[in-house]
Structure formats: structure tokens, C-alpha cells
Structure 1
């Protein structure tokens, strides 16, 4: 058999099989309609997961008690509380092993969960809930935090600790962004630049919580 014969259609097929498949468009988990890159999510409390949905299906699950309360829509709130700043002593009390982490209240586990970005994805840190309660006591963000759907996203830099209340899918977006550019032990310069840009956009978007006057 000649070299020319080896380079026939079969070889081309093997070459295509070795090449990575193009990414498939995401689809709504309920109606299977194709979704744009930017789309909405629901929190699946039973599976402890996020579900991609189209606007119509997201609207259905905004009704109280829909699907027995299993799915909850994300609020879309971005909040900051300049009046409650965390200091270095507070960060040490929290015992977070890295510079960036997020926490949320998981109703399935009935406790707070702390996760942080890593080259393998979101990793869970050991949590002293009593320490969290002490550090966050008096914070309007902790009072506002909705279970399963919102998280407190924190980042420690030189002389500064930022804390934002965000939809929980924003935290997983950050984890995915860092995973794509992670190099070395601590992520490297590219990951730090991604963090700078991400938190810069949060600072521009976040607002102070509204003060509600109740009778």
C-alpha cells in the first residue's frame, strides 16, 4: 500500500476524530430551546446545582411554590455595604486559605458553605459558622442574603477586603474564568488581572442595600 493510499478519506476521518469537538450551544433544561451565551439560571435546591433556562421558563418558576419550591430564580442584585468593612483580624478569624472566596446558605445541607476558586474548579473550605456569624454580625449584606440563590463574594488584597452580595451564578462564572487562565500555584499574573477586572466591574455595578421603613 502506497503513502498516497494511506492519506485517503479514512485518514481524514481519523484526523477529525482527534480534533476537539466544537462547543455545543446551551439549551434550556425544561423546553430545550437554544440559549444565548448570556442567559438566566435557576437554583436547583435538591441537586445543589444551577439550571440554565430561557426567559419564559424562568418566569414560570418565579411563582411561589412552583415545582414544590425545588427551583428558585436568581435575584440579579449586586450590593455592597461600605459602612461595614472587614479588617485583617476578621479575615484571620474566618480562616479562608486563599485570597478570594464566596459563601452562601445551602438549605439542603442546612448550613453555610464556603467555596473558593482553584485550577480544578470550586473547592470547599472548612467553615467555622460561629466565626462567620461573629464577623458578619451587623452587616446588612448578611441580613439581606437569600439562601441558595445569592452569595457573599470576598477578596483580600493589600490593605483591603472587598465584600459583595451577588447572584450565586456570578461566583461560578468567576471560578470558570479563573480556571481558564490559571497558571502555577496561585493562578499567576493572568488570573490576578482577571480578578482585578472582575471586581472592578462589581464595584461599578454594586449598590447599597435599600433601607426599608416598616410600620
Structure 2
């Protein structure tokens, strides 16, 4: 049996499909106070996908249909990209050692992603005070490994460097921004270790075997 042929939707096709989805759902969607798709207005459940705006770096909530439209790289005239749902514990000791070695000073928590706009590896340090950013120089050995490991913009290498050893995961970028938001909640600042333990345990449970 011949393999099914796959084709990336062209920009005009993507826009037309989105317009059709909006038109249909405007007629059938009941008024709801719940969260809705940022592209077509469909009411969303608690578990839904996200689409990243590559120009403004803003995450949009998306229904399944709109999420799939932006899944191919370059869809939406290259302005948006669906955030994949790949979770993986990183067990490569050399990669983990190199990654934890570039995490600055007393900072124990960091994530890195490949920024397609700059072509550089961006390193982010979340904390209750906010988010600090820096860049890895191209000469750092781990840069080439990260370029081959991560999907640009939408995946990150997240690490928590603990006294008993570092834990490192490859995660969707929206997971990192969720962690940033949770760290900034005043109610979570009293016991950050407990928050991080719960958060990283949840990541581990979602990892591919």
C-alpha cells in the first residue's frame, strides 16, 4: 500500500480554512464565559493547545482545528507556530553536565530555547521577581547540541539544579511560561521547593518512555 502523501497547507489555504471555521462556529457556538480559542472563538476545555506568535512571542489558546492548522512550520504566513506536546527526560549525562555548567551563579532554575528571529540560544532564568534573559555565545559546546535537539521557538530545555542533583527535561515552551507565572504568584513564594517538586514530578509523569 502506498504511503499517504502529506502536504503543507499554503498561506492562502490556511487563511481560508480559518475564515471558514470562524464563520461556522459563530453560528453554532453558544455564549459562554469560559476560555475561547483566540483564532475562531470556539469554547475551550481546560486541556487545549497553544500557538506561539513568532513576532510578539505571545501564546494564543487554540482549539484542536486551529492548532492543527498551525502545526506545519511556515503555516499562517510564518507568523504563528503550534506548540508541540513532546515531553522527555534528558538522561544524557554529558548534555546535562554542559547545560548545568552554563547556568549562572546562584540561579538554580533555567530554560533555554532557540530563537528563530535572532538565530541564537536564549537562556531564561525564572524567579518570583520575574524573568531574566541572556544568550549563549556560539562558541559554547552545548549550543550545537541544543540547535539539533530543540524545535525553534516552541521547545525548551528546562533544568532545576538541586543540591541532590539536577533534573532536566525537554518540554513545550508553554510549560516554561506556566512555571514563570506560578513562581510570581504571592501564594507560591513561601515554599518554592515544594512548588518545584510538584511541578517537576508532573513533568516526569508526562514524559515519553
- Would you say same fold, with TM above 0.5? yes
Match of 2:75 in 1: 66
SS at match of 2:198: helix
Match of 2:174 in 1: 169
For structure 2, the residue ranges without an aligned partner over 5 or more in a row are: 1-32
Q: Which residue of 107, 111, 134 corresponds with 2:141?
A: 134
Assess if the C-alpha contact under 8 Å between 2:115 and 2:152 holds in 1.
Answer: yes
Assess if the C-alpha contact under 8 Å between 1:26 and 1:35 holds in 2.
Answer: yes
| Count of aligned residue pairs for this structure pair | 176
| Partner Cα distance (2:103, 2:125) in 1 | 13
Q: Which residue of 54, 59, 75 corresponds with 1:50?
A: 59
| Partner Cα distance (1:201, 1:30) in 2 | 29
Mark the CA change 1:48 to 1:109 in structure 2 (over 3 Å): closer, same or farther.
farther
Alignment partner of 1:147 is 2:148: no
Mark the CA change 1:159 to 1:71 in structure 2 (over 3 Å): closer, same or farther.
same
Offset of residue 34 of structure 1? 2.4
Match of 1:21 in 2: none
Cα RMSD over matched residues? 2.5
Match of 1:159 in 2: 164
| Partner Cα distance (2:41, 2:123) in 1 | 32
Match of 1:5 in 2: none
TM-score by length of 2: 0.72
Match of 1:17 in 2: none
Match of 1:26 in 2: 35
Assess if the C-alpha contact under 8 Å between 2:51 and 2:62 holds in 1.
Answer: yes
Offset of residue 165 of structure 1? 0.5
SS at match of 1:193: helix
SS at match of 1:77: coil
Assess if the C-alpha contact under 8 Å between 2:120 and 2:135 holds in 1.
Answer: no
For structure 1, the residue ranges without an aligned partner over 5 or more in a row are: 1-23, 209-215
Task: Return the index of the structure with the highest Cα Rg.
Answer: 1
Matches within 5 A, 1:194-209: 194-207=195-208
Assess if the C-alpha contact under 8 Å between 1:48 and 1:108 holds in 2.
Answer: no
